[in-house]
C-alpha cells in the first residue's frame, strides 16, 4: 500500500543521519536491519515487520510519520504518543454531542482547527467520559494533517518520562523533552490534574508542579489544548504555590469549555 511504503521511507530518511547503535536480524523475514540511536531511545525494525506492524496497531503512528514528515520531533512523538484503543479512530465527525455544551465544544474545536495560528489555546474540562480526550486527539490529528507538528500526551506521562531520564544510562534527557514541549506547534495535554502530586505537611510536593509550571511557561503564547476533570480553582489548589501562576498561563489566550451531558462510556 502506498501510504505504508511512504511512511517507512519517511522514517528511514528521518533516521538516516542518526547514529547506528548496532544491528539485529529478523529470522522470520531473513533481514538484517540497523538499530538507530535517537534521543527518544534506540529504534529499529525489519522492513516487513514494520509494514505488518502498521497494518495493526501502528497505523496511527504511521499517520503521524506521514503528516509531520521532516520534523525532528517526529521519531520522539512516534515513540511517546500513547493513544488508547477506544480513541484510535476518534474524529470530530464521530463525536455525537448529547447536550448543548458538547455541541458547543464540537463547534469550538472545529473553529479552533480552522483558525489555528499556533498561538491560541483551548481548555476542555468536565467529568469522565464526556469526550474530552476524544476531542483532544481529534484536534491533534487534524492539525497534523495540516502539516503542523502536534503531541498528544497525558500530563502524568510527561512527568513519568522526565523521571525516566534521571535513571543511569538514559539516552533521553529532560532538556530534550522540554525542547520538544517548547517547539511543537501544538501540545495537547490530556488529563491535566490527574497526575499524582504527593501532599506534604499542608503544602504539596513541588517537583511535579514545578515541572508543569515550566511546561506552561514554555508554552506561553503557543497553542496548547488541555483537557481536565478539574475546575480552575481545584487546579490552583492542587498546584499550591505554583497554582496561581500555572492558571494564569493556562488561561492566557485560551477559550474554555466545560462539558456536561452524559458519560458516554455508560451509554455503550
Ligand atoms: N459524544 C460522543 N460521541 C461519540 N463518542 C464519544 C462521545 N463522548 C465520548 N465518546 C467516546 O467515549 C469514550 C470515552 O471518551 P473520552 O475518553 O474522550 O472521555 P474523557 O472525557 O476524556 O473521560 P476521562 O475524564 O475519563 O478521561 C471514547 O471512546 C470516546 O471516543
Ligand atoms: Mg480523557
Ligand atoms: Zn521481520
End-to-end CA distance of the chain: 34
Q: Look at residue 175 and tell me if it is in a domain.
A: yes
Mutate to test the pocket of ligand 1, among 100, 257, 264, 266 (most ligand atoms within 8 A of CB): 264
Averaged over 99-126, what is the pLDDT?
96
Same domain? For 137 and 262 the reply is: yes
Q: Is the pLDDT of residue 39 over 60?
A: no
Q: Look at residue 78 and tell me if it is in a domain.
A: no
Q: Identify the nearest ligand to the CA of 84 by its number.
A: 1
pLDDT at 9: 63
Which residue is associated with the grid cell 500530563? 155
59 and 70 in contact (C-beta within 8 Å)? Answer: no
Q: Look at residue 40 and tell me if it is in a domain.
A: yes
pLDDT at 177: 93
Averaged over 93-116, what is the pLDDT?
95
pLDDT at 67: 63
What H or E segment, with its residue span, contains residue 33? Answer: strand 31-38
What H or E segment, with its residue span, contains residue 244? Answer: helix 240-250
Q: Which atom of ligand 1 is nearest to the CA of 96?
A: 3
Same domain? For 111 and 212 the reply is: yes
Give the closest residue (by CA) to ligand 1 atom 26.
128
Q: Look at residue 77 and tell me if it is in a domain.
A: no
Q: What does pTM read for this prediction? A: 0.80
Q: Look at residue 80 and tell me if it is in a domain.
A: no
Residue 21 is part of which domain span? 2-68
Amino acid at each position: 500500500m502506498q501510504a505504508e511504503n511512504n511512511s517507512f521511507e519517511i522514517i528511514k530518511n528521518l533516521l538516516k543521519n542518526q547514529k547506528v547503535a548496532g544491528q539485529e536480524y529478523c529470522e522470520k523475514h531473513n533481514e538484517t536491519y540497523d538499530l538507530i540511536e535517537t534521543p527518544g531511545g534506540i529504534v529499529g525494525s525489519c522492513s516487513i515487520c514494520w509494514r505488518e506492524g502498521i497494518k495493526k496497531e501502528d497505523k496511527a503512528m504511521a499517520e503521524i510519520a506521514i503528516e509531520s514528515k521532516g520534523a525532528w520531533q517526529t521519531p520522539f512523538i512516534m515513540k511517546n504518543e500513547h493513544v488508547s484503543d477506544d480513541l484510535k479512530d476518534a474524529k470530530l465527525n464521530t463525536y455525537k454531542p448529547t447536550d448543548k455544551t458538547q455541541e458547543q465544544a464540537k463547534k469550538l474545536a472545529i473553529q479552533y482547527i480552522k483558525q489555528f495560528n499556533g498561538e491560541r489555546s483551548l481548555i476542555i474540562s468536565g467529568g469522565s467520559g464526556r469526550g474530552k480526550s476524544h476531542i483532544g486527539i481529534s484536534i491533534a490529528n487534524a492539525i497534523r494533517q495540516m502539516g503542523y507538528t502536534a503531541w498528544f500526551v497525558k500530563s502524568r506521562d510527561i512527568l513519568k518520562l522526565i523521571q525516566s531520564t534521571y535513571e543511569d544510562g538514559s539516552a533521553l534527557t529532560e532538556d530534550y523533552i522540554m525542547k520538544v514541549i517548547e517547539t511543537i506547534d501544538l501540545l495537547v495535554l490530556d488529563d491535566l490534574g490527574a497526575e499524582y502530586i504527593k501532599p506534604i505537611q499542608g503544602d504539596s510536593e513541588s517537583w511535579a508542579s514545578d515541572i508543569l509550571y515550566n511546561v506552561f511557561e514554555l508554552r506561553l503564547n503557543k497553542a496548547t489544548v488541555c483537557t481536565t476533570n478539574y475546575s480552575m480553582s481545584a487546579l490552583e489548589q492542587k498546584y499550591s504555590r505554583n497554582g496561581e501562576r500555572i492558571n494564569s498561563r493556562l488561561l492566557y489566550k485560551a477559550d474554555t469549555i466545560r462539558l456536561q451531558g452524559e458519560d458516554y462510556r455508560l451509554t455503550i
